[in-house]
Amino acid sequence: MKVFELKGSLRTDLGKKANKALRKEEMVPCEVYGGGENIHFAINEKVLGKLLFTPDVYVINADVDGKKFSCVLRDVQYHPVNDKALHADFYQVFEDKAFEVELPIRVEGFAIGVQSGGKLAVISRKLKVKGLMADLPENLLVKVSHLGLGKSIQVGELAYDNLELLNSKKSVVVQVKLTRAARAAAMAAK
């Protein structure tokens, strides 16, 4: 997985007033949990934006006033009107302990159904997996070259080394949909 370096400052004042004052200074209140006691800190809004507005998933090496740890982004709360990040939650990860994370999928190949006039539709852009940090790839590869018209790949058909897929086995990841032109050609052939 890709690594993101993050520097933050510890917060001692907690609560609504303190968080409002932080946000006025363009800082985002954050919290790390999963490693014993929770760590409350704040980071710059622009630095968090670099982490949020990307399709990639990162393992974050955080440095909070000299205290260093690895974590992953778990949840972000946004303002309902201006879409600014209001709060971020991180989950501390360890090399020897499995954890859950959503990884993006990468489609590879040219489907037979697309060659016949269909359209490839990616239904799930990310899949939830559980595994050790060393076993997690940057993305999950899904090969679609064998897919025909009207066919799909479900989560139950996928398997990756040392990773457990946590999505429902019946949920569709990728499918080749029939287009109107393909339906018309099939009707004309009959």
Last residue of a domain, one of 39, 69, 93: 93
Out of 49, 78, 93, a domain closes at 93
119 and 145, same structural domain? yes
pLDDT tens digit sequence for 118-168: 888 888 888 899 888 888 888 888 898 888 888 888 888 888 888 888 888
The answer to whether residues 37 and 119 belong to one domain is no
Give the CATH number, domain containing residue 74: 2.40.240.10
**Structure confidence at residue 190 (pLDDT):** 67
At 17-48, the pLDDT tens digits run 888 888 888 888 888 888 778 888 888 888 88
Q: Specify the pLDDT at position 55.
A: 80
Q: Quick one: 84 and 162 in the same domain?
A: no
pLDDT in tens, 43-79: 888 888 888 888 888 888 888 888 888 888 888 888 8
Q: Note whether 74 and 126 are same-domain residues.
A: no
Residues 23 and 83 in one domain: yes
How high is the pLDDT of residue 30?
A: 87
- On the question of pLDDT at 7 being above 70, the answer is yes
What string of H, E and C letters represents the secondary structure of the chain? CEEEEEEEEECCCCCHHHHHHHHHCCEEEEEEECCCCCEEEEEEHHHHHHHHCCCCCEEEEEEECCEEEEEEEEEEEECCCCCCEEEEEEEECCCCCCEEEEEEEEEECCCHHHHCCCEEEECCCEEEEEECHHHCCCCEEEECCCCCCCCEEEHHHCCCCCCEECCCCCCEEEEEECCHHHHHHHHHHC
My answer on whether 55 and 75 are in the same domain is: yes
pLDDT at position 10 is 83
Please indicate, yes or no, whether residues 111 and 176 belong to a single structural domain of this protein.
yes
Q: Are residues 89 and 107 in the same domain?
A: no
The range of the structural domain enclosing residue 110 comes to: 100-189
The CATH number covering residue 119 comes to 2.170.120.20
Tell which of 93, 117, 139 closes a domain: 93
Same domain? 15 vs 36: yes
